[in-house]
Amino acid sequence: MVKFDILEHELVPKFRILSKEEVESLRKNLGIRREDLPWMRKNDPVSIAIGAKPGDVVEITRKSQIAGQAVAYRYVVPR
């Protein structure tokens, strides 16, 4: 069986775990709680690949034909 890094595929956007300070700033700017963000399960293949744990907030940066770059956020949940 051949293993490969799913994050290296050309169609997979860039993922990164935000620091506590970045999460607090994002939360204040948007006026929301972490739990209000869309959820991402801890057993999602990307969560596993980047080492995300429940309670983390993940930033997803995608290429966009209109905006050039689109950023989304996900809150990591246990299951």
CATH number at residue 49: 3.90.940.20
Task: Please check whether residue 1 lies inside any domain of the structure.
Answer: no
b/e string for 24-38 if b means 16 or more Cβ within 10 A? eebbeeeeeeeeebe
Task: Please check whether residue 3 lies inside any domain of the structure.
Answer: no
First to last CA, the chain: 27
Q: How many domains does the chain have?
A: 1
Among candidates 40, 62, 66, 65, which has minimal Cα distance to 53? 40
Statement: residue 55 has pLDDT above 80: yes
Task: Please check whether residue 25 lies inside any domain of the structure.
Answer: yes
Task: Please check whether residue 42 lies inside any domain of the structure.
Answer: yes
Task: Annotate 40-56 with DSSP letters as a single string.
Answer: EETTSHHHHHHT--TT-
Residue 70: what pLDDT?
A: 94
Structural domain of 73 = 11-77
pLDDT per residue over 1-38, tens digit each?
777 788 888 889 999 999 999 999 999 999 999 999 99
Calculate the average pLDDT of the chain.
93
Task: Please check whether residue 36 lies inside any domain of the structure.
Answer: yes
Indicate whether this model's pTM tops 0.85.
yes
